[in-house]
Amino acid sequence: MDLGDRAIVLNGETDQLFEQLGLPLHILYLPGHTADSIGLLCTQSGDLFCGDAAMNAIISVARHTIWIEDPVAFGQSWDKMLAVSPRKLYPSHGSPFWPRDLVKYRHFLDHRKLIPPAK
């Protein structure tokens, strides 16, 4: 498959590419929702565009997304997001929210029971 110049392959040089383009971004690998989930941390503002690693929409509970492939990795991704001390989080679905919400709801992830998909 030829992706041309529209695809960014994630590797050790990705942040350097953003720097060359004048984009103050750092990629965070945030698996859990899916194995390939990522977030973008704006290094100037501290804002974190967390994709589907969290959710603040009417159908979410405790900032959890409605689909979690790997609950352990999902919790670790929340820990990783907290470790970078974001100013504010911008999820793919719903309104922006403060990191204190991750702290408030983190413990629920350790006890959440997920229903496996039907086979």
Q: Name the residue among 99, 101, 50, 55 with its Cα closest to residue 77.
A: 50
* Cα dihedral 23, 86, 70, 61 sign: negative
Bigger pLDDT: 112 vs 48 = 48
- Rounded distance, CA 119 to CA 117, Å? 6
What are the tens digits of pLDDT across the range 40-94?
Answer: 999 999 999 999 999 898 877 778 777 778 888 988 999 999 999 999 999 999 9
Domain 4-109 is in which class?
alpha beta
What are the tens digits of pLDDT across the range 20-45?
Answer: 888 899 999 999 888 889 999 999 99
Exposed/middle/buried for residue 79 (C-beta within 10 Å: 0-12, 13-18, 19+): exposed
